[in-house]
Amino acid sequence: MIRALAYCAFCFRPEISLPPTGVTAADVRVVAEGELRLLWSEVEWPFASERMQKNALEFHDVISHVFRQAAVIPFRLLSVFEDEKSLAAFTAEHAKAFLADLERLKDCVQMECVVFPAPSRKQTNNSSGADYLREKAAMLREQGEHVKAIQEGLSGLAREIQVREGKNGTRIFVLTERGREKEFRSIVEQQAVPAELSRRISGPWPAAEFLSEQVRAPQVAGAK
């Protein structure tokens, strides 16, 4: 069956170039609602499982093409709509909220840093459950202190910081002005990494973690 796959939304500017093709070399099309533009393609649905990785790369290439030029609101890879009509109705219904977020985030990018236990760290003999719990507690304290130091270092750079705890470490999301990516990396790298920890920096990315709830919720509800 044919479905409408949504890539991203952005504010129209005549100088913004668009990629000609997207997932599975499908034409990239545009839905317009006032100043809002939403990119999409007609695709065969569901995706073939053996091609999913390539589809994901092609999907993110479309978003990255526009993001290099302007702020975008990215959709998830599986954000498909029944047809162009339903996608246009979705765009019209939520244009005001999308445009408000795009205006707020127009000069911003998202940078990320994840702090996690070093894979090569030495571990105590875990024959004792108490020893294991003490080691885990010490690790979490050290991880928390390092994350706090990074946050404090970034306080003058970040417009907003969000921290999310996960099974594989602590992820720090930072909203900052476009063009300050090197400064972000420099500030984080000035914080010495404790021997028991590892750290990974990435970005710039679209500011997906800093979208308003009004924009996040419709994306989930609107897609099939």
Residue pLDDT, tens place only, 39-73: 999 999 999 999 999 999 999 999 999 999 999 99
pLDDT tens digit string along 73-84? 999 988 899 999
Give yes or no for a contact between 150 and 185, defined as CB atoms under 8 angstroms apart. no
Residue type present at position 137: A
pLDDT tens-digit profile of 90-118? 999 999 999 999 999 999 999 999 999 99
Cα-based distances in Å from 93 to 111, 112, 193, 219 = 30, 32, 47, 12
- Do residues 31 and 92 lie in contact, with contact meaning Cβ atoms separated by under 8 Å? no
**Which secondary structure element, helix H or strand E, spans residue 201, and what is its range?**
strand 197-205
Contacts of 176 (CB under 8 A, 6+ apart): 108, 109, 111, 157, 158, 159, 184
Amino acid at the residue 200: R
Say which residue the tokens 């909220």 belong to.
97
- Confidence class for position 217, pLDDT limits 50, 70, 90: confident
Whole-prediction pTM = 0.91
Q: What is the mean pLDDT of the chain?
A: 93
CA dist 131 and 138 (Å) reads: 11
Coil, strand or helix at 192: coil
Structure tokens at 114: 């994840």
Paired with 10 in beta bridges are 37
Q: Which domains does the chain have, with CATH numbers?
A: 2-105+210-222 (no CATH), 108-206 (3.30.70.120)
**Do residues 3 and 55 lie in contact, with contact meaning Cβ atoms separated by under 8 Å?**
no
Among residues of the chain, what percentage have pLDDT more than 90?
A: 83
